[in-house]
Amino acid sequence: AQSVTQLDSHVSVSEGTPVLLRCNYSSSYSPSLFWYVQHPNKGLQLLLKYTSAATLVKGINGFEAEFKKSETSFHLTKPSAHMSDAAEYFCVVSVPRISGTYKYIFGTGTRLKVLA
Amino acid sequence: NAGVMQNPRHLVRRRGQEARLRCSPMKGHSHVYWYRQLPEEGLKFMVYLQKENIIDESGMPKERFSAEFPKEGPSILRIQQVVRGDSAAYFCASSPTVQETQYFGPGTRLLVL
């Protein structure tokens, strides 16, 4: 069965310090993986995606994520947090189905708080 | 190119009423997905549609919920006889093909009184 686990429901960092949001996945197939960000009362914005090319993926707003197959992880990082990064972050795995369609499976989210 | 549009952004209904949520995909996108987000939870897949066809409705409740994506016009998620447990944010996403990245709308926040 395919699943996504976001290991931390809440993360707090000080402004200017590094951010690490952890995500582990379980998939029988070679997965496509995504990180989305959701600001309060807003929709979801794509931060970055991994689709079997380079294992280190760079996204918007200085975020990046590394796909580690041996660890089944896709952790999201940023060298220096900004106040505007405070939001909910979702790790998503896209898995193929027998019907030929694909299905997004969402993690439960990590709420990032940035302290001044 | 406008993004995915959803309306209304907020909807208040009393128990027993009907809720209609609309989604206009990005231009050139013929695949539409609906998700529900309960408070403090991630998004849960409900239904996947292509023009005039429901492809996958494995996440849809068996009763009261229906979805359509007509040849012309937006996709509609319809909830009949709403109950308090239907209160949630409903997100629509679209993609140009089934394998492509999904782009999300701003959501409709439904409150059932």
* pLDDT one-digit tens code per residue, B29-88: 999 999 999 887 788 999 999 988 999 898 999 999 999 999 889 999 999 999 999 999
CB-CB neighbors (< 8 A) of B109 in chain A: 41
Supply the pLDDT for residue A41: 75
Q: Which of B68, B95, B67, B94 is nearest to B79 (CA)?
A: B67
Which residues 29-68 of B have a C-beta within 8 angstroms of A?
Answer: 33, 35, 41-45, 48, 55-56
Using one digit for the tens of pLDDT, what is the confidence trace for A2-28?
A: 789 999 999 999 999 999 999 999 877
> Is A29 in CB contact (< 8 Å) with chain B?
no
SS3 at position A70: coil
Nearest CA distance, A68 vs chain B (angstrom): 21
Q: How confident is the model at residue A74 (pLDDT cuts 50, 70, 90)?
A: very high
Is there a cis peptide before residue B8, judged by omega within 30 degrees of 0? yes
CB atoms within 10 A of CB A17: 12
End-to-end CA distance of chain A: 41
Supply the pLDDT for residue B1: 55
Contact A99 B55 (CB under 8 A): yes
